[in-house]
Structure 1
C-alpha cells in the first residue's frame, strides 16, 4: 500500500483482521504485526491510529461489546409474545457469533479488557454481561406476565443461559445445541399453560 493513501474504514478493517487472527490462530498469537498483515496494511498503521496493541484491543472490545449489547437490547420487548424459550433462542442466535467468540477468547486471555469496556460503556456492558442483563430483564417481564413461574429466579436463569452460550461460542458450536439447551434451561421455569393469565 503506497504511503499517504487514506484507507476508508481502516478501524473496522483492522478489527475484522483481528477477528480472523483470533479465530484462526488463537488470541495468544494476536500481535500488531499479525493484525496489520491480515488486513494488508502497513505495520505502523495500527500504532498510528491506536497507540499500542492494548489501546487497539480496548477499542475493539468496546466496539464489539456495543454491537453485542445492541443486538441483545431488544429481547425484553419480546415479553408476552411467542414462546419464552423460542424468544430467548432466537435472540441469542442473532447476536454475531464471531464477535462473541473473539470477545470471550480475548477476555479470558486479557481479563483487564472487561474493566476497560465497563469504563467506556458502563457496568454490565462488557461482552456477555449485556446479554445476561437483557435476558434477566426479559425473564423478569415474563414472570410479571405469569408466563414463567412466580418463584423462578430470572437472574439465575439468565446466568445459566449465558454460561451455555459462553461454552458453545468457545467450542464454535451454537446452532441446534443452543436451541435445545435454552429450551431445557427455561422449560422448568415456565408456568403451566392452565395457570397463565
Structure 2
C-alpha cells in the first residue's frame, strides 16, 4: 500500500485479523506486528490509530462487545412471536462464532480488558453480558405470556446459556459448535410452547 493512502475500514480489518490470529494460535501470541502482518498493512498504521497495543486490544473488545449486545438487543421484543427456541437461536447465533470465540479467549487471557470495556460501555454490555441480560429479559417476557414455565428461573437459564457459549469458545474448534449451541437452547426451552398462542 503506498504511503499516505487512506485505508477504508482499517480498524475493522485489524479487528478481523485479531480474530483470525486467535483462531489459529490463541491469544497468547498476539502482537502488534502479528496483527498488522495478518491484516496486510504497515506496522505503523496500528500505532497511528491507537496509543499502544493495549489500547488497540481495548478498542477491539469494546467494538465486539458492542456488536454482540446490538445483535441481541431486540430479543425481548420478539416475545410472543415465532418459537422461543427459534428466537433464541437466531439472536445468539447472529454474531459469528469467530467473534464470540476470539473475544472470550482474549478476555480470559487478559482479564483487565473487561474493566476497560465496562468503563466505556457499562457493566451490562462487557463481553457476553449483553447476551445474558437480553436472554433473561426475553425469557421473563415469554413467561408473562405463558410461553415459558412460570417456575423457570429466567436469569439462571440465561447464565447457563452464556456458560455454554464460553465453553464452546474455549474448547471447540470444529463445525459442530453451532449445532451444540442449538441443542442446548432446545434443552433449556424444553416444555415451552412451539409457537405463539392463536
- Structure 1 length as normaliser, TM-score? 0.91
Q: Which residue of 2 aligns with 1:28?
A: 28
| CA RMSD of superposed structures (Å) | 1.9
Q: Which residue of 2 aligns with 1:16?
A: 16
Where does structure 1 lack aligned partners over 5 or more consecutive residues? none
Bigger RCO of structures 1 and 2 (CA < 8 A, at least 6 apart):
2
Where does structure 2 lack aligned partners over 5 or more consecutive residues? none
Do 2:50 and 2:56's aligned partners in 1 also have CA atoms closer than 8 Å?
yes
Equivalent residue runs for 1:39-188 within 5 Å: 39-170=39-170, 171-172=172-173, 173-187=176-190
Q: Which is further off, 50-59 or 37-46?
A: 37-46
- State the SS of the aligned residue for 1:187: coil
Q: Which is further off, 86-95 or 100-109?
A: 86-95
- Structure 2 length as normaliser, TM-score? 0.91
How many residues matched?
Answer: 194
Q: Following TM superposition, where does structure 1 have runs of at least 4 consecutive aligned residues deviating by more than 4 angstroms?
A: none
- Structure 1 residue 48 displacement after superposition: 1.9
Separation in 2 of the partners of 1:92 and 1:70?
11
Q: Which is further off, 87-96 or 135-144?
A: 87-96
Separation in 2 of the partners of 1:98 and 1:19?
6
Separation in 2 of the partners of 1:185 and 1:164?
11
